[in-house]
Structure 1
Amino acid sequence: MSTTNILAGCAASTILLSRYTHYSAITTFVLLTSLALACKVLYHLILWPKFLSPTRHLPGPTNHSLLMGNFSIIREMQSGAPQVIWMRTIPNSGLLRYLGIFNMERVFPTTPEVLKEVLHTKSYSFIKPPLLTRDIGNILGKKGLLFAEGEEHKVQRKLLLPAFSHAHIKGLVPGFWSKGVEMTEKVVEVVRSSQDSTGDGGKEGVVVQMGRWFSLVTLDIIGSCGFGYEFRALESASISGSSNIEDKSGSELADAYNTIFNTGGPSRILAMLSMVFPFWLLRSLPLKRTRDVACAESTIRRVTTQIIAAKKSTLATSPEDSESGDILSIMLKSGAYTGPDGECSMRDQMMTFLAAGHETTATSMIWAIHVLSLPENRHIQSRLRAEIHAAFPSGLPTTVTYDQVSSLKYLSQITSEVLRLYPPVGVTLRVAAEDTSLNGAFIPKGTTVILSPFAINRSVALWGADAEEFRPERWASREDGAAAVESNYGFLTFLAGPRGCIGNVFAKMEFKCLLAVTIGRFEFSQDGKRELVIKAGVTSKPQGGIPVSVKEVVWG
């Protein structure tokens, strides 16, 4: 029963009871409302999860608090890490159940067979949580592909598939590569400028916050390759202050996303409060964080509106550009985004791909440089650099072909291993849209299902005893670079099934190009002693970024 129904019932009861009691109508209403809400809280906090829920018999952790479930361990650990522990230590046949904040039930599939049910067999029976859509839909586009459900999702995906076809991606590779080269030129400026100021002549490395540059280059790539629009985020970026991830970039769009994605303590508190209080109320609080996010959202909407207008103008004067195959051209050419809500829907679609298309790859690149710069993995970095230099003996080329990048086998193995061990999104959620079942267990409507790429990608049952180790060679067992894991549902970085990531080929090829130009041009190192604090947010990345020591290398 909803709170609205409770209040309506209390109002009706007040009218009746106030006639037969010595209490005033207001007092009677307050007493009845308080009693009804207390009963509702008791039901949801205690009675349902502990005594009535049909999923309460599923195996799961037992060391939970009376009112907060297993939230303490969830709060303290990286997104997906608690699920790794439970998956390995609690015997189960494919499903675990635990309690989140305020004892909210969570059902966690642990095997490919059950994951296939959620992601393929019954994919449209498990929808994105309305709470998630409400909270981050303003950033990621409520009407975009990410939040579309049922037939609407099928229509949108079919419409956008040509922009992510294998043939189209092959044609984008030169653009990925050239933007990567542009980024390395900026980093060279940073390194040389610092060396000039210290006078060490390039003997020592320079500490650079590489995450800043990865965010800028991936934003430029999704702009030019995804929308046929030049953001010029790299071009406008200043090389000063490059060891601080909070520095302004010079690009208002990049700064807006930096504000949204670089979350801190206030964001986590607001996220917890959003489970209890209406979202509109939290957004109206006079807090700096809410003002900053609102301003950033406004910037993103304004810029995307400008891009749509510019593209319409271009297509009107140069109709041949409609054949470019980028996401925005396809949307405009389709005629599906007409009518009063057409431009709003198109803008939301752009917001989906802008955010998902640059933040996730930038996060993956941060983790790649982190793991390759660790002392124990420096030999892997050197071997990759040798492969890149051997493929391009004359120096870093300004452009390459799809086949040239695909021929770098060790690069492919490292790409897959980084994406396995460090998925940008560690946990995502689904909600049962109807009464259904998983692995034979009844799952009532409204049950939250947790999908954890971080946990599944580290499953000992699927990946072996060394699942936690960074070992690119595990991907060398098959000629196509696929993992030595039997099921498509054992590698969840891009999820799978009808709702799997439409841009996975785009993202992997973009990642390969950026990693190749970066490792080919620079040597990265760190002592590995810094304790990483992984911040909560849309993506999983270290708080404060990962500053690493950067040195230019001699090609060849």
Structure 2
Amino acid sequence: MEKLHLLILVLLPTLLGLPLLYICEILWLRPERIRRKLRNQGVRGPKPSLLHGNTQEIKRIRQELASDEQKQDTNNYMSTLFPHLLLWRETYGPVFLYSTGAMEVLYVADPAMIKDMSHCTSTQLGKPTYIKRSRKPLFGEGILVANGDLWAYERKIVAPEFFMEKIKVMIRIIEEASVPLLEGWETMLDNAGGSREIYVDDHLRNFSADVIAKACFGSDFTTGEEIFRKLRQLQTTLSKQDALWKRLPTKSNKEIQKLEREVRSLILDVANREKSINDDDSKHNDLLRTIVDGARHCPGWGGGTAEDFIVDNCKNIYFAGHETTAVTATWCLMLLATHRTWQDRARAEALEVCHGRPTLPDADALRRLKTITMVIQETLRLYPPASMMYREALEDVKLGGLDVPRGTIIQTAMLMLHLDEAVWGPDAREFRPDRFAGGASAACRPAMAQMYMPFGHGPRVCAGQNLAMVELKVLLARLLSKFAFSPSLGYRHAPAFRLTIEPGFGMPLLVARLP
């Protein structure tokens, strides 16, 4: 017994010390190594505290600079959503370092470094681990958050389904999905004498959901609508979740788990219907069939099942394929409503290209929608749906002459790049679609084309950008051919960050039927 007591006395300090050493490594030693290496290369930034990093300072800056609800111009919301980044950039320049406590974040707005980031491979830069953990109920291990070989495999099977030749086949599906939207608004206007206020964002979200459900998954409207409704609830609940309590059985966490189970069940029902369709049946959906087939041959799934692979990638595509497009369409209509000259120009083009018909005559007509394309590109510049890009250095990398150590979180604010007067000129904050008359590469200062990245950049550029652009062109052409849009006195400009940048209080517009 005495030997046992002696053994316990010897081992107890070691057993107690290991967790303390691990905590010390996570909260202090590892961040300090990253911080020292970057500081030694001249990177500056606010001084962090031991446990909280700069999080308390971020809260203080937000309270001081954003609580008074500054009168921001229509196309700049950095001052209310991310005032600390604005302040630190003014203080420390386009590259600075700050801390969240357990993570060192390297903010990058330097063109040379951004260009180098676009050339990094998926094994060098990937999605941060903390994002994968915090958004796991929404994204799982799908293409939006996976890294390494798994991401490369997912990209290989998903990306070809969004090549332009396949997107052209979806145009009729997009037009068909717009019919309930147009007819619904016409009925509302008939009952209101031809003009009324409509909160357009929810209507646009339903339209985009119907497109992605039918075009990519072949599911019926009812099933698709239910999946999107629950994903929307999951997104909203996650955006309010306190990371400190995420593992406890709180009411919010129970709701997240419930929604996650329900979304999984709905998606598997759609996938099982797809499995039951014969290969020679022309009605089966290529993308869903590709994901189902890919689940059988996926390497290195990390202990997950084939069902996990199907559910996670479908959730990723459902979310990314409709949420970002719907939000962009909403901002497009807001900007056209407040810039009537551009609305008239876009409408005249739509009527000319469509020859007064309710549908596009052919896929080539999309190329002739030059004004509408410029409007979309300028909207994406001013309101990039994913305004922040985060990457984690999965190994030591060199960016613009700076040695970035493994484990560093790299952050880039697309909006700040898109409003940089050094890149876009003194009118950077103005809605001026004609800057894109010569294409995106000619819209900004020479050698600065990499600073325009509404769909991301590098190997992880959005695979669905072709579908998003075609969907937006078709939708705007059809809406502008039937309706006129004006600002509503009920609109409160307060963009909110909920994974995407969306109107904080909805988007009411005055909609009138054209004579």
Asked if TM exceeds 0.5, the reply is yes
Alignment of 1:111-510 (within 5 A): 111-142=110-141, 144-193=142-191, 195=192, 201-202=193-194, 205-232=195-222, 251-262=225-236, 267-268=239-240, 270=242, 274=243, 277=244, 282-287=246-251, 289-315=252-278, 318-321=280-283, 326-333=286-293, 336-337=296-297, 341-374=305-338, 377-397=339-359, 400-478=361-439, 483-484=443-444, 486-510=447-471
What is the aligned counterpart of 1:540 among 501, 504, 510?
A: 501
The structural deviation recorded for 1:190 is 2.9
1:226, 1:328 within 8 Å by CA — same for their partners in 2?
Answer: yes
C-alpha contact (below 8 Å) 1:125/1:433 kept by paired residues:
yes
**Comparing 58-67 and 404-413, the one that deviates more:** 58-67
- Whole-angstrom distance in 1 between the partners of 2:389 and 2:453: 11
Matches within 5 A, 1:94-113: 96-102=95-101, 104-113=103-112
CA contact (8 A) 1:425 1:540 kept: yes
Question: What's the offset of the Cα at 1:231?
Answer: 2.4
Deviation of 1:422 after TM superposition, in Å, equals: 0.6
**Partners of 2:277 and 2:255 in 1: how far apart?**
33
- Equivalence for 1:7: none
1:22 aligns to what? none
| Conserved 8 A contact 1:71-1:100 | no
**1:347-368 deviation digits (Å, cap 9, x = unpaired):** 2111110011011101111211
1:63 and 1:400 map into 2 onto residues whose CA distance is 60
Equivalent pairs, count: 487
**Conservation of the 8 A alpha-carbon contact between 1:456 and 1:490:** yes
CA drift at 1:60? 4.9
Decide whether the 8 Å contact of 2:105 with 2:411 is kept in 1.
Answer: yes
- Residues 116 and 290 of structure 1, relative CA distance in 2, 3 Å threshold: same
Pair 1:386–1:259, CA change in 2 (3 A): same
Is the 8 Å Cα contact of residues 97 and 106 (structure 2) preserved in structure 1?
yes
**1:52-91 map, 5 Å:** 52-55=36-39, 58-60=42-44, 62=46, 67-69=52-54, 70-72=57-59, 73=61, 76=66, 77=79, 82-83=84-85, 86-87=88-89, 89-90=90-91
Q: 1:149-197 CA deviation, whole Å, 9 max, x = no partner?
A: 223322322222321112111111222122123312122223334x1xx
**Deviation of residue 139 (structure 1)?**
1.0
The 10-residue stretch of structure 1 (503-512 or 150-159) with the greater mean CA deviation from structure 2 = 150-159
Cα contact 2:486–2:511 (8 A) shared by 1: yes
Deviation at 1:54, TM superposition (A): 2.9
Q: Would you say the 8 A contact 1:172–1:225 is kept in 2?
A: yes
1:15 equivalent in alignment to 2:31: no
Q: Which moved further from structure 2: 38-47 or 539-548?
A: 38-47
Letter in 1 for 2:382: L
Deviation digits for residues 261-297 of structure 1 (CA, Å, limit 9, x no counterpart): 345xx84451xxx2xx4xxx5143322x333333322
Q: Which runs of 5+ in 1 are unaligned?
A: 1-11, 19-24, 196-200, 235-250
Once the two structures are TM-superposed, the CA of residue 345 in structure 1 deviates from its matched residue by 0.8
| Residue 198 of structure 1: aligned partner | none
CA RMSD of aligned residues (A): 3.5
When residues 104 and 228 of structure 1 are mapped into structure 2, their CA distance, relative to the original with a 3 A threshold, is same
Q: Tell me, in whole angstroms, the C-alpha distance in 2 between the residues paired with 1:127 and 1:438.
A: 15
Cα deviation code 1:451-472 (max 9, x no counterpart): 2222222222221221111110
Quote the Cα distance in structure 2 between the aligned partners of 1:388 and 1:13.
83
Structure 2 SS opposite 1:256:
helix
Q: Say if 2:228 and 2:319, in contact at 8 Å, map to a contact too.
A: no
Q: Is the 8 A contact 1:534 1:542 kept in 2?
A: yes
Kindly provide the amino acid, as one letter, of the partner of residue 255 in structure 2: D
Deviates more, 1:69-78 or 1:364-373: 69-78
Q: Give the AA of the match of 2:160.
A: P
1:392 Cα offset (Å): 3.0
Contact preservation (8 Å) 2:139, 2:315: yes
What residue in structure 2 maps to residue 43 of structure 1? Answer: 28
User: How much identity, in percent, do the aligned residues show?
Assistant: 24
- Maintained 8 Å contact 1:45/1:102: no
User: Relative to structure 1, is the Cα distance of residues 233 and 153 closer, same or farther in structure 2, using a 3 angstrom cutoff?
Assistant: closer
- Tell me which amino acid in the other structure corresponds to 1:532: H
TM-score (norm 1): 0.77
For residues 335 and 130 of structure 1, the distance between their equivalents in structure 2, rounded to whole angstroms, comes to 23
CA distance in 2, matches of 1:495, 1:158: 18
Q: Does the CA-based 8 Å contact 1:141-1:350 persist in structure 2?
A: no
Residue type at the aligned position of 1:160: V
Deviation at 1:474, TM superposition (A): 0.2
The code of the aligned residue for 2:349 comes to E
C-alpha separation between the residues in 1 aligned to 2:462 and 2:149?
Answer: 17
Per-residue CA distance 1:84-118 (angstroms, 9 max, x = gap): 5655x3574xx512324338421122133211222
Q: Secondary structure at the match of 1:536?
A: strand
Match of 1:245 in 2: none
Find the aligned partners of 2:402 and 2:99 in 1 and give their Cα distance: 20
User: Is contact 1:176–1:510 with CA below 8 Å preserved after alignment?
Assistant: yes
- State the secondary structure of the residue aligned to 1:451: strand
